[in-house]
Amino acid sequence: MRIQLKTDILDTDITALTQLYKSVGWNGHTPEKIACIYHKSTHIVFVYEENWLVGCGRALSDGAFNAAIYDVVVRPSHQHKGIGQRIVHQLVSSIGQVSCIHLISTLGNKSFYERCGFKKLKTGMGIYYKPELKAQYLE
């Protein structure tokens, strides 16, 4: 498998990102929302196989103290091949030496992030407005 990492976004990537998100069942990510979140992210990684987007990830960072990784997505046909780990490691590397990097794992993926070096927080908290997300993620 020959893959290529890309760290900038073009308008042509939005359609491919929309298809990628739909491949994992994230249907609420419309092209408009995807354009918004990626243009506002400080760090992005796209993984292409040939000219086909097979994975992505993004992060927000203040460049000094804090960063957060979001939306590590790998097409189901390409999962368990090391692509997700490459995305996370590329994001961590490009974020650099800040005090902390946070992320919230989707259900069932905690062990993946542990293998990438992340540890469970003692003080992590969140506010969720959608009832279904509140039920899934809050204690």
Supply the DSSP string of 89-127, one letter for each residue.
Answer: HHHHHHH-S-SEEEE-PPTT-HHHHHHTT----SS----
Q: Which residues pair with 73 in a beta bridge?
A: 56
pLDDT in tens, 34-84: 999 999 999 999 999 988 999 999 999 999 999 999 999 999 999 999 999
Predicted TM-score (pTM) of the model is 0.92
* CA 75 vs CA 2, 39, 49, 72: distances in Å: 15, 21, 11, 10
- Asked if 116 contacts 103 with a C-beta cutoff of 8 angstroms, the reply is no
Q: Which residues pair with 45 in a beta bridge?
A: 57
pLDDT in tens, 86-131: 999 999 999 999 999 999 888 889 999 999 999 999 999 999 999 9
Spot the catalytic one: 70, 113, 129, 137: 113
Q: How many helices (H) and strands (E) does the chain have?
A: 5, 5
User: Is position 113 annotated as part of the catalytic site?
Assistant: yes
How far apart (Å, rounded) are the C-alpha atoms in residues 69 and 77? Answer: 23
All structural domains of the chain: 3-137 (3.40.630.30)
